[in-house]
């Protein structure tokens, strides 16, 4: 199965094409530039390099989040549009699970981590198994201190993600020798891993996502939070209610 995989969930941009378990090509950049401008030209260039036409693709995988709200939306909208126009199945894959795949040979716990602001993280606890990863603790948004307390005494743990550096001092103070840190190449989601995870879903008989599928941020956006707070306080989204 020839599958295009897209990741824009962080500052890293990743595009890959796999054919079964064979990686045909991959582009990964961490240039902190606008994904909305660069994503489709990157897809087009990679397909040209591989001498593949869009019609030859058989499925599309995309990072569904968590991560940057804007980044996730860009990748998800692009993938949904391509899947619809090419009549291809779409497989949304967790960006945390894809990141955890970078440590699938590590013998201990694997902790992918994105900064969720206000001393909180998007994270989960995974274990490598037969070249894939399985969850030990489900993905969640949690305060970094509470998360490290949960992990303490259960290591070793491999921490993965560019945002780990933001919390490295706390991690080292809490976990000491239980903490291991990924190399630069292991800290970015590999689009090829998105494709491999999607391939596993296809092989398991999953048909792909429906037309109403959307990103999974693991938490409400700021606008959604304010809207709900306004509703709970008896205020309409567009102004106060009457008596």
Question: For 97-125, what is each residue's pLDDT tens digit?
Answer: 999 999 999 999 999 999 999 999 999 99
pLDDT at residue 228 tops 70: no
CATH code, 41: 3.30.420.40
* Residue where a domain terminates, one of 135, 168, 186: 186
In a shared domain, residues 194 and 86: yes
Structure confidence at residue 224 (pLDDT) = 39
The whole-number pLDDT of residue 218 equals: 84
pLDDT tens sequence across 163-178: 999 999 999 999 999 9
Q: Worst-scoring range by mean pLDDT, 91-100, 137-146, 177-186, 224-233?
A: 224-233
Determine the average pLDDT of the residues in 171-199.
Answer: 96
pLDDT tier, 207 (very low <50, low <70, confident <90, very high otherwise):
confident
What is the band of 236 on the pLDDT scale with cuts at 50, 70, 90?
A: low
Mean pLDDT across the chain: 90
- The answer to the question of residue 232 being in a domain is no
In a domain, residue 33? The reply is yes
SS (H, E, C) the chain: CEEEEEECCCCCEEEEEEECCEEEEEEEECCCCCHHHHHHHHHHHHHHHCCCCHHHCCEEEEEEECCCHHHHHHHHHHHHHHHHHHCCCEEEEEHHHHHHHHHCCCCCEEEEEEEEECCEEEEEEEEEECCEEEEEEEEEEEEHHHHHHHHCCCCCEEEECHHHHHHHHHHHHHHHHHEEECCHHHCCCCHHHHHHHHHHHHHCCCCCCCCCCCCCCCCCCHHHHHHHHHHHCCEECCEECCC
Number of domains the chain is built from: 2
Residue-number span of the structural domain to which 148 is assigned: 104-186
Residues 40 and 54 in one domain: yes
pLDDT at 220: 52
């Amino acid at each position: 199965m020839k599958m295009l995989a897209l990741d824009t969930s962080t500052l890293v941009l990743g595009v890959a094409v796999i054919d079964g378990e064979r990686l045909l090509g991959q582009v990964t950049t961490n240039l902190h530039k606008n994904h909305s401008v660069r994503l489709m030209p990157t897809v087009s260039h990679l397909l040209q390099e591989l001498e593949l036409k869009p019609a030859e693709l058989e499925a599309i995988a995309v990072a569904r989040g968590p991560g940057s709200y804007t980044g996730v939306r860009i990748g998800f909208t692009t993938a949904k549009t391509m899947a619809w126009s090419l009549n291809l199945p779409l497989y949304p894959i967790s960006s945390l699970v894809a990141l955890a795949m970078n440590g699938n040979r590590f013998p201990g716990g694997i902790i992918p981590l994105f900064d969720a602001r206000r001393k909180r993280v998007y994270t989960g606890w995974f274990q490598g198994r037969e070249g894939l990863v399985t969850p030990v603790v489900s993905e969640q948004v949690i305060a970094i201190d509470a998360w490290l307390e949960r992990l303490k005494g259960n290591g070793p743990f491999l921490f993965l993600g560019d945002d780990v550096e933001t919390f490295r001092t706390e991690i080292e103070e809490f976990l000491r020798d239980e903490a291991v840190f990924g190399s630069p190449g292991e800290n970015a989601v590999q689009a090829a891993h998105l494709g491999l995870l999607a391939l596993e879903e296809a092989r398991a008989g999953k048909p792909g996502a429906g037309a109403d599928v959307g990103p999974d941020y693991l938490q409400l956006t700021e606008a959604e939070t304010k809207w709900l707070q306004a509703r709970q306080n008896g205020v309409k989204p567009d102004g106060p209610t009457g008596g």
